[in-house]
Copies of this chain bind each other. A is one copy, B any other.
Amino acid sequence: MSNAEASLEHLIRVFTKPEHKESTLSQIEQHLSDNLSDFLSRHVVAKQTSLEEIEQDFNDPHLPLQPEFVSTHAETLLSKLVANSVNTYAPTFIGHMTSALPYFHLSLAKLLVGLNQNLVKIETSKAFTPLERQVLGMMHHLVYAQDDAFYTQHLHSAEHSLGAFCSGGTVANITALWVARNAKLAAKQGFKGVSHSGLAAAYRAYDINNLGLICSKRGHYSLGKAVDLLGIGRANILQASVDSHTLNPQEVLALGREYQAQGNDLLAIVGIAGTTETGHIDPLDELADVAEALGCWFHVDAAWGGATLFSDTHKHLLKGIERADSITLDAHKQMYVPMGAGMTLFKDPAISASVRHHAQYILRKGSKDLGSTTLEGSRNGMAMMVYSSLHVLGKSGYQLLIDQSIAKAKLFANMITAHPDFELITEPTLSLLTYRYNPQSIQLALSEGNLDQVAINEHLDILTKGIQKQQREAGKSFVSRTRLGIGKYNNQCLTVFRVVIANPLTTVEHLSDILAEQHHIARTHSDHAVLQALVSTSV
């Protein structure tokens, strides 16, 4: 046997022989299976290392030449990567939309990789294709509640799609607006359609200067990416109701009419069901009326809030969503599925024809290959995670999860309001809220107009940023921060704490501790003394 043959035989073992039960990797797995929370608290270092220090561990651009033992490598992963990752499972991590996940996803992740299906086509996914279509159908039914005949006709039809799975909300929003653009600028007498001839030709054929998209100032940044990518241009995002967190339908109508009168047309109105920063919900039902009046597409970005529909208690907040032409959902948010499970849903199952495409070796005409109408090509079988979650938790389980998140967010808002030194900035419509540290004396002086409001707010911004950073670095808990224009302060842009309540393991005690920690940090922060000095000279 030659050297190369011996090496190859050795290498092939990596494909066929499992790790020893005593190996580091097997032990990591065992620990994950036995007690995920314990694994994370033991291995994720609480005290933060600076990013610059971590970068030192990931600095080498040269490929490793020789193979490394899996166990040696697993040690490296533990000490360099896991140690400096973020404990998103922790109940005190309430700053972003990632949360603890149900345990069974750990096992399913392994099954998913063991099967390693590719959902672009049936030949590499088989039953995963009808499964994904069923999941889309279930979510479609949750929103649109069509009758059984509708689903019998469309669920597995080669010519129809109830939606498209994708890696996340951004691709879902892009997909929805791509479909909307191509449907709007479709082929007609003397024009072969935007897909074929391009956008400049389409504008000429339809005699329009620009296509616009209307959304609130809380629109997700992916909408900007979408109009950039689609050639529509970021300048054609029209922000209505800029003094508010949500769209005012009358203003949208007026803005739309004015824009149309200038020789433009509207691509879409985008309503948001749960803004990323504050959780606000646009008045969807009224916006659907406005979209009808303006003759444009109505898209609802429900990446965060869509799961509210599972709750009979709260689903009324999303009234009108069933009139949307397309909807974005993220199962990796409030559906507690691992990262990478976005969806677009279409009211009209025939509309995806506007982006349908074919190839010779797959996606042949008449095939049910999912790739014919998705933005992505090869994709993994994440739909299984959603399918399993829907079955194991059930609609009633999801309702409980949604209801307890909203209840906890309201409780937390009450705690903030009741605390003399904190100021609630936005109420929790869903389970997001924003607030800031603002000592009672300053709140009082500000409300009486005794202080230079702009200057004080700017200094409070510095303090908020300082508190957030110090709390994050202490490693016990994490809230995020953002900047919001606030009506009460003449739309001055304020830096605020942003909290997302989603983890079912987060208790009221955790929330109370987080507030106490922030209060303590604030009082001992160097910027606090500066603030006090500023207030005394300002009065």
CB-nearest residue of chain B to A198 = B233
A197 lies within 8 A of chain B by Cβ: yes
Q: Smallest CB–CB gap between A247 and chain B, Å?
A: 18
A73 lies within 8 A of chain B by Cβ: yes
Most buried by B among A142, A152, A375: A375
A228 touches B195 (CB 8 A): yes
A441 lies within 8 A of chain B by Cβ: no
B231 touches A137 (CB 8 A): no
Q: Beyond A81-B131, A109-B109, A505-B12, is A391–B361 a contact (Cβ under 8 Å)?
A: no
Binds B, one of A49-57, A421-429, A454-462, A529-537: A49-57
Residues of chain B lying within 8 A (CB to CB) of residue A359? 221
Most buried by B among A4, A126, A388: A126
Q: List 28 A-B contacts (CB under 8 A).
A: A16-B37, A18-B33, A18-B35, A33-B110, A54-B126, A62-B141, A64-B390, A66-B396, A68-B394, A77-B111, A82-B115, A85-B117, A86-B125, A88-B117, A109-B109, A116-B339, A195-B233, A198-B210, A200-B203, A201-B210, A220-B377, A221-B357, A224-B357, A229-B230, A330-B378, A339-B381, A340-B378, A362-B480
CB-nearest residue of chain B to A388 = B73
Residues of chain B lying within 8 A (CB to CB) of residue A392? 14, 67-70, 73
Q: Beyond A15-B101, A230-B229, A379-B340, is A384–B134 a contact (Cβ under 8 Å)?
A: no
CA distance A365 to B25 in the complex (A): 38
Residues of chain B lying within 8 A (CB to CB) of residue A137? 61
A316 lies within 8 A of chain B by Cβ: no
Interface residues of A in 1-28 (CB under 8 A from B): 4, 7-8, 11-12, 14-19, 25-26, 28
A194 lies within 8 A of chain B by Cβ: yes
CA distance A14 to B398 in the complex (A): 12
Residues of chain B lying within 8 A (CB to CB) of residue A210? 198, 200-201
A107 lies within 8 A of chain B by Cβ: yes
CA distance A511 to B364 in the complex (A): 27
B339 touches A277 (CB 8 A): no
CA distance A479 to B89 in the complex (A): 43
Q: Beyond A8-B400, A28-B107, is A64–B115 a contact (Cβ under 8 Å)?
A: no
Interface residues of A in 186-218 (CB under 8 A from B): 192, 194-201, 203, 209-211
Interface residues of A in 109-151 (CB under 8 A from B): 109-118, 122-131, 133-134, 137-138, 140-142, 148, 151
